[in-house]
Amino acid sequence: MKKFSLWYLLYPGFLVAFGIPMFNYDRLTGPDPLDLSFATYLAPMIWLVLGAMWAHEQMESKSNGYNFLRILPIEPALIVKAKFVLVLIAVAIYAGGCCAAFALVSTSPDYLIPSCAYVIVHGSICLATAALLYVGIFRYGFSRFGKYILIAWVALLISPIPIRIFILKPRGISDAEIMQFFRGPYWIMGTAFCLAAYYFLMKLAARKLKEKYT
Amino acid sequence: MEYILETNKLRKEYPEFVLDNIDWKVPKGYVMGLIGPNGAGKTTTIKLIMNLIASDGGQVRVFGLDNIQNEIHIKNKIGYVGEEQYFYDHQSARWTGEFVSHFYDQWDKERYQSLLEQFDLPPKKRIKKFSKGMKVKLSLAIALSHDPEIIMLDEPTSGLDPIIRREVIDFLKDFTEENNKTVVLSSHITDDISRIADYITYMIDGRIVMTDSKDALLSNWKKIHFTPESLDKSIIDKLEQVETHMFGSSGLTRHFPAIQHALEPGLASGDIKVESVGLDDILIALVKGE
């Protein structure tokens, strides 16, 4: 919880550091005070949740936390649920914070909805990724699998840069065009799919932890 | 006699070790000592009872309930101290007590605080700065603060210095006498078990080779010192570990009351002497007899 609380404290800092200067800049230049590119800058920050998750699991591993929990009268499913809820809260707070900030600035749903959708989709993918990584941890143990969390975290955190440079820019795809996708119904379907995957992976992770325990 | 814990044909296979069809009963309200050399299967048995590892066969019943189907209920009623002490060691003893209290149906906060004081454990100090002995005491404080019906101790004094070891065992002795709790204490340190156990189980190579009350064991097992002509050959043949030395011979019997009458003439003349044995002598005899 402590590791995650650090994340809860840090995310408003990211919002301020990355968001506020852009809002001010675009107030002067854009058609809506909320520029669509804000979301593309802010959304990847959600991947920092995986960093918090890594730190949390490293601490569990270091102090043999699962062995300690194992002797207590507590179902493995409850341990897994608590961890998944923590990740969900962290993502929800960040995504919610972004959307609230967008809503404060924006004057048009045409800009607000795709911006929020973009962050929510990022959050949903982040949740599904975190769930997959948890399944890996409970299946293989943190000592063997922990490095993959770091790899996934760093890769996802920096992914917008190569995507922008090597995929979007050569094809001439602008932020506005990307955002067009987030005006349609597909992002809702994608989010629903990721949340469903999150739920089922939570069940799978609980089963893996129980298997690991015995 | 009422049994609080029973195992029935309990089995666990490892590549180089098999715990073989363990049938074991622990009477309610007594201290059961589980003695065996390293690698005998004591820890495996206790872990199977606690459902910390999966069995390959057999059944464990605690309070008459299956230990897998009723794991949470049973763990609520067992105070467990393992061979290794695991905690969130960047946290304090106070935090740990607060943390674990959420998982137990009955958590006696005052008892926990009083045990910390009794054990001289600083409540605010990080556990990683605790010595091994302090960690054992903290485990014990946690194990005793949720009013368990069984206290399960797996080599709790292993690796402790004699002073702390004695302190822990004496505390357990007083605690169990005052509270009439059932205790299962596994150890290869027979002195610890001898001090508090009512019943003893010997385990060797994954099998239970003997279970009896401590008093019965110590009255049945005796070392007989004799001169060759003072003892009937039929009795000598039944002795174990017979050794001959310059002053005569000696051997162990596990049926002293049965031969006591036959020894009386030799005892009267001084040609035979009977010596009490310790639990470790019995263990060594059992290991050598295997």
In terms of domains, do B125 and B195 share one? yes
pLDDT for res A7: 57
In terms of Cα–Cα distance, which of B280, B77, B42 is closest to B156? B42
pTM of the model: 0.81
In terms of domains, do B158 and B268 share one? no
What's the gap in Å between the CA of A73 and the closest CA on chain B? Answer: 5
In terms of domains, do B188 and B229 share one? no
In terms of domains, do B152 and B250 share one? no
For chain A, give the percent of residues with pLDDT over 70: 81
In terms of domains, do B248 and B269 share one? yes
- Which residue from A67, A68, A73 is facing B72, i.e. has the nearest CB? A73
In terms of domains, do B60 and B147 share one? yes
Q: Which of B149, B177, B212 is the last residue of a domain?
A: B212
In terms of domains, do B235 and B174 share one? no
State the pLDDT confidence band at A14, using cuts at 50, 70 and 90: low
State the pLDDT confidence band at A25, using cuts at 50, 70 and 90: very low
In terms of domains, do B197 and B132 share one? yes
Give the Å distances, CA to CA, from B69 to A75, A94, B50, B62.
12, 40, 12, 11
CATH code where residue B165 lies? 3.40.50.300
Q: Which of B212, B247, B273 is the last residue of a domain?
A: B212
d(CA A101, CA B92): 39
In terms of domains, do B184 and B164 share one? yes
pLDDT for res B34: 95
In terms of domains, do B84 and B134 share one? yes
Are the Cβ atoms of B86 and A73 closer than 8 angstroms? no
Q: Are A42 and A119 in contact (CB under 8 A)?
A: yes
In terms of domains, do B85 and B133 share one? yes
Count of other CB atoms within 10 angstroms of residue B91 = 16
State the pLDDT confidence band at B58, using cuts at 50, 70 and 90: very high
In terms of domains, do B178 and B225 share one? no
Q: Chain-wide mean pLDDT for chain B?
A: 91
State the pLDDT confidence band at B263, using cuts at 50, 70 and 90: confident
Taking only residues 40 to 99 of chain A, the set having a beta carbon closer than 8 angstroms to any beta carbon of chain B reads: 59, 63-65, 67-68, 70-75
Q: Are B48 and B60 in contact (CB under 8 A)?
A: yes
pLDDT tens string A93-119: 888 988 888 888 777 787 788 888 888
Q: Which of B183, B212, B241 is the last residue of a domain?
A: B212
d(CA B41, CA B282): 18
pLDDT tens string B65-80: 999 999 999 999 999 9
State the pLDDT confidence band at A192, using cuts at 50, 70 and 90: very high
Domain around B265:
221-289
- Which residue from A63, A65, A71 is facing B50, i.e. has the nearest CB? A71
Give the Å distances, CA to CA, from B235 to A76, A141, B258, B261.
58, 59, 10, 12
Instruction: Determine the straight-line distance between the first and last CA of chain A, rounded to whole angstroms.
Output: 26
Domain count, chain B: 2
Q: Which residue has the higher pLDDT, B107 or A59?
A: B107
